[in-house]
Amino acid sequence: MARFQFWGVVVGAAFVLSGCGVLEGPPAPDVGESDDAGSAAEGPAQPAAAEPAAFHFDSGDLVLGPFDPEDVKDNLFDPCTEISDAEFAAAGLVKRQEQPGHQIDSSINSCSLDAGATNFSILLVANALDKNAIESGSPVFDFEVSELPQAFAFGSPVDSISMCDVAVETRRGTVSASVSTVRSTDAVSELCPTAANVIISLFAL
């Protein structure tokens, strides 16, 4: 009888131990770790594409970039009508009331600005010629504009006029600030910074 009871205790203990193992089961996976693994598999979020550089006017954005001269002839930017007096004022510039030669021809639009007490003549020009065409027919100056790396500078093909244009290509033509003088004492080194200031002021709007 005692022998039967001993085996009953062994079998009972084994049953209890086995039952405890079934109830506990393997540890549940960590939900947070699973989510992290899924996110890592998808890779890091991609940054949003940067907007193209542009002049921002009430009439619309003037996006910088190369263009086809044939495509812009009928849609050449007009600085005199597409930049308001308020925007010129915000840039610290004044449009002259009289605009001689506003549209020189179908490939050039210009707007005369008040040069104040200086002996300079200041024009804002939109040209249907691109950078390559302009530089092939004009002297090119080694002048950089840190605020506008796309800018380039060139002079007048006519030697009797001291002139510096600081220009950028846009989708609607090459836009430049042109500063000139007939005084031989005014060096190009004085004209280019003035032209650059005009372009930078408008780009900062």
- Each residue of 16-59: pLDDT tens digit? 333 434 434 455 545 444 455 444 555 566 666 778 899 999 99
- Chain segment 99-142, per-residue pLDDT in tens: 766 666 678 999 999 998 788 999 999 999 999 999 999 999 99
Q: Return phi, psi of residue 182, to 5°.
A: -100, 0
Give the pLDDT band of residue 158 (cuts 50, 70, 90): confident
User: Residue 78: is its pLDDT beyond 60?
Assistant: yes
User: Residue 205: is its pLDDT beyond 90?
Assistant: yes
Write down the pTM of the prediction: 0.74
List, edge to edge, every strand of the sheet that includes 108-113: 103-105, 108-113, 121-127, 173-181, 162-170, 152-154, 140-141
